[in-house]
Amino acid sequence: MRGGIEAVRKMVTDNQNYTGPPCEFLLSLLRFILYKNYFKFEKQYFLQRTRTAMGSKVAPAYANSYMHVYENECILSHPAFRQYGAFYRRYIDDIFYIWSGPTIELEKMVDQLNTMETPIRFTLKYNTSSMEFLDVRIYKGETKLETCIYVKPTDRNTLLHYQSCHPRHLLESLPKSQMLRVIRITSEEYKRVEDLELMSKRFLERGYPTKLIEDTKKWALSLNQDESGALQNVANIPSGAKQQQKNAMYYVSKYGEGSDHMRKCVLKHRPLVASDERVSKKLPPKPRFSYQRGKSLKDILSPSDPVDKYIGSPVQHFLSQRPGVFKCNGCVMCSSLILGSHFLHPRTGKKYEIKQRMTCTTTMVVYIIKCPCGLIYCGKTIRMLKERIGMHRASIRAALDPDREEKAKNKKQDISQQLVAKHWAEAKHSPAAFRCMPIEKVPVRTRGGDSDNALLRKEAFWIHELDCVSPKGLNGQLVLSCFLT
């Protein structure tokens, strides 16, 4: 790792245009990433002692920095390469170059590179008529070098299936981008037609409509390589369009079955929002919709941390802890609990089973409060439930206090105005009538993540499920912003 860190130091100090943070600060962050790179497998934690993790965001830049220094000091300055090497290109650790000398000198140079005290080891592949580099095959034509698409013999047709749950515009643009790639890479016209036919066949195998593929193929055949390169060049985007992209408002969400419906709803009701003069001044002409990857079958069938597989479900017997709500037998708050293995909705009579074992000491729970008049309040707490019960009971006592207005003047926050307390005072319920029941516990995520947001989502689910927003319940509103992150 030291060689890589020194390579990054050299890259930063030699670059006169570098305007980032101080070099030593940057290197200290890099050391932290490389030397504190742990991972969890089943119940154990491991520390990676050499190299860098493939999934790390810094890995490509780190590898490129090392290879840049390596190729300048070891390859480009090698006597044999300086004598016989011609055209040279590298993509991370894949290298392509043209050799004009004897084969024995080429093999000798690679052997010398492989015996150096570096972690880099090369596998040499050469040919006098054609060679593959990444997804391109370079071969000798009649008067010049020609190129075409290269597909490995072991490659399978892994193009995105047309029935996959992805935005429609993405699915329809994929054939266009892939056929544009064929035109850009394949230099000979007859070979271009063959590669387009092969690409069309691959898309048809993945369920794409025949008309879409045929129309896209006709469009691609009408282009030449110069036109295809211009379409790929970001610099050719008009400056006005770039400014519109910069000033656009983006609606970002995880893509799912309801995303298209959500987009139509936003566009349909946008004029209503724009009718406000103050809002319309800040509102861009048209919102743009961007999507993150939503939950897929892979996440369900093959989770990254299959806890159930290596921990297993506990064996059930007559001494096992039954699910439901129970007393902790250690505090006065238990008198306010609704005990049992289920609860009934007071308005609809629907029965809901409690699937976990909970007491007043349980944390990260969604709970309900039933008032004597048959209304429900649904809330959540990250603390122990008994602490939240104590806060509700205190606010109810404050709301029922005849001198509450005078006392509220001397406090920063008037707890008597909380929703449950306010209803208790208006309905003149007794404080002893307060009853609370935890209905679901949200587990803390073992691999990190926003557990608080997961709790907010579960609370929103139960508020919607129990339909307890005023006037049908005691909740003020149903907040859905937690689903946007």
pLDDT tens digits for 165-190? 888 889 999 999 999 999 999 999 89
Q: Tell me how crowded residue 322 is: count the other CB atoms within 10 A of its CB.
A: 10
Domain check: are 152 and 288 in the same one? no
**Using one digit for the tens of pLDDT, what is the confidence trace for 317-337?**
555 578 999 988 778 888 899
Which pLDDT score, from 0 to 100, does residue 245 have? Answer: 64
Write out the residue range of the structural domain in which residue 99 sits: 2-137
* pLDDT exceeds 80 at position 414: no
> Helix crossing, 189-205 with 210-221: angle to 10°?
160
As a whole-number percent, the residues of the chain with pLDDT over 70 amount to: 88
In a domain, 308, yes or no: no
Tokens representing 248 are: 């656009």
Sign of the torsion formed by the C-alpha atoms of 254, 255, 260 and 261: negative
My answer on whether 403 and 337 are in the same domain is yes
The confidence score (pLDDT) of residue 253 equals 85
- Comparison of pLDDT for 314 and 68, the residue scoring more: 68
Give per-residue pLDDT as tens, 113-154.
999 988 899 999 999 999 999 999 999 988 899 999 998 888
pLDDT at position 333 is 86
In a domain, 22, yes or no: yes
Give the list of residues 6+ apart from residue 196 with CB closer than 8 angstroms, or none: 179, 182, 183, 217, 220, 221
pLDDT of 240 strictly over 60: no
**Tell me, what amino acid is at 306?**
P
Task: Note the pLDDT of residue 448.
Answer: 67
Phi, psi of 475 (to 5 degrees): -75, 140
pLDDT bracket for residue 249 (50, 70, 90): confident
What value does the mean pLDDT of the chain take? 86
Query: Which of 40-54, 178-192, 294-308 has the largest mean confidence?
Result: 178-192
Percent of the chain at pLDDT above 90?
A: 48
Write out the H or E segment, with its range, that includes residue 368: strand 365-370
Q: Is residue 467 part of a domain?
A: yes
By the 8 A CB rule, do 368 and 311 touch? no
* One domain, residues 384 and 466: yes
Q: How many domains does the chain have?
A: 4
Overall average pLDDT of the 272-296 stretch:
82
Across 158-167, 395-404, 475-484, least confident range:
395-404
Q: What is the pTM of this model?
A: 0.65
Identify whether residues 18 and 132 lie together within a single domain. yes
Which residues neighbour 298 within 8 Å (Cβ) at sequence distance 6 or greater?
A: none
What is the helix (H) or strand (E) element at residue 211, kind and residue range? helix 210-221
Q: 432-448: per-residue pLDDT in tens? A: 999 999 999 998 777 66
pLDDT for 26 equals: 92
pLDDT value, residue 444: 79
Query: Can you give the pLDDT at residue 234?
Result: 46
Query: Given a cut of 70, is residue 235 above it in pLDDT?
Result: no
One domain, residues 405 and 460: yes
**Contact by Cβ (8 Å): 88, 95:** yes
| 447 closest CA partner among 37, 33, 54, 39 | 39
Retrieve residue 252's tokens.
């970002």
- Same domain assignment for residues 73 and 201: no
Using pLDDT thresholds of 50, 70 and 90, give the confidence band for residue 344.
very high
In a domain, 303, yes or no: no
If asked whether residues 340 and 468 sit together in one domain, one would say yes
Same domain assignment for residues 331 and 473? yes
Of 116, 137, 158, the last residue of a domain is: 137
Give the integer Cα–Cα distance in Å for 129 and 139: 6
Does one domain contain both 340 and 411? Answer: yes
- AA identity, residue 83: Q
154 and 116 share a domain?
no
Domain boundary among 201, 218, 236: 236
* CA proximity to 141, closest of 186, 83, 204: 186
The continuous run of DSSP H or E covering 240 comes out as helix 239-247
Question: Residue 463: inside a domain, yes or no?
Answer: yes
Residue 387, class by beta-carbon neighbours within 10 Å (0-12 exposed, 13-18 middle, 19+ buried)? middle
Q: Is residue 443 part of a domain?
A: yes
pLDDT above 70 (res 98): yes
Cα 386 from Cα 327, distance rounded (Å): 11
**Same domain membership, residue 450 and residue 339:** yes
| pLDDT (mean) for 413-436 | 86
Among the candidates 104, 137, 170, a domain finishes at 137
> Which tops the pLDDT comparison, 277 or 228?
277
Query: Could you report the per-residue pLDDT of 53-68, keeping only the tens digit for each?
Result: 777 888 889 999 999 9
- Residue 256, domain member (yes or no): yes
Question: Under a CB-based contact definition with an 8 Å cutoff, are residues 438 and 341 in contact?
Answer: no
Q: In the block, which residue shows the tokens 């590898």?
A: 63
- 338 lies in the same domain as 443: yes
Q: Is residue 88 domain-resident?
A: yes
